[in-house]
Structure 1
Amino acid sequence: MTMHTAVGWHVELEFKEDDRHTEAAALIRLPDGSEVRSHGQASRHHTDANQPRVGEEIAGARALNELAMRLLTKAHEEIDSASGRISHPIHV
């Protein structure tokens, strides 16, 4: 029987907003002590209704998307370092 260890990561998202712009900052602290950070932005068109939650969702999604790409890059750099070869991340 194989024993599985549960591992959890916590992602933090913070937002800064004004009437037209939302900025999101994402941070993940990995078990090895390293941190990966990313940012996302959203802008409201002047004819759109003021819906702060929508701006947060868009900016947050963009920050999380960038975070995912940074994690893929970090993982492939670690693979390359350990293997001495160049790996090729698949971008979805």
Structure 2
Amino acid sequence: MPHTVEWKVRLHLFEEEGSTKARVVLDTGTTVLTGHGTAHRNPVDADVPEIGDELAAGRALHDLGRQLVEVAERDIEHAGAPATGRRARPETGWPL
């Protein structure tokens, strides 16, 4: 059974004095989730705003992804399926 939907995503970046903050807002039409991320430039490093943007945006998207998985797991449990055991599995990737 085909299923097509459109979700809207907005990414906002704010830079000030060596810090970049990102906020990503996902609107599914029924749910709105917001992810946040921050990047701080070491004062001895060159000022390259694109790097701060990339790090902060990536961290905000990671936060949003984590929230989406949590919502899906709750929906699965509410649908009567057994818990996925996600919390028992180790995280992968680099720490934030």
- TM-score tier by shorter-chain length is 0.7 to 0.9
Question: In structure 2, what is the equivalent of residue 71 of structure 1?
Answer: 68
**Cα RMSD over matched residues?**
1.7
Contact 1:76 1:88 in 2 (8 A): no
State the number of aligned residues: 89
- 1:15 equivalenced with 2:13 (yes/no): yes
Indicate which of 18, 22, 25 corresponds to 2:23. Answer: 25
Q: 1 CA distance for matches of 2:63 and 2:5?
A: 22
- Any unmatched runs of 5+ in structure 1? none
Contact 2:19 2:38 in 1 (8 A): yes
Percent identical among aligned pairs is 29
Q: 1 CA distance for matches of 2:31 and 2:83?
A: 22
Question: In structure 2, what is the equivalent of residue 34 of structure 1?
Answer: 31
- TM-score w.r.t. structure 2 length? 0.81
- Deviation at 1:84? 5.6
- Any unmatched runs of 5+ in structure 2? none
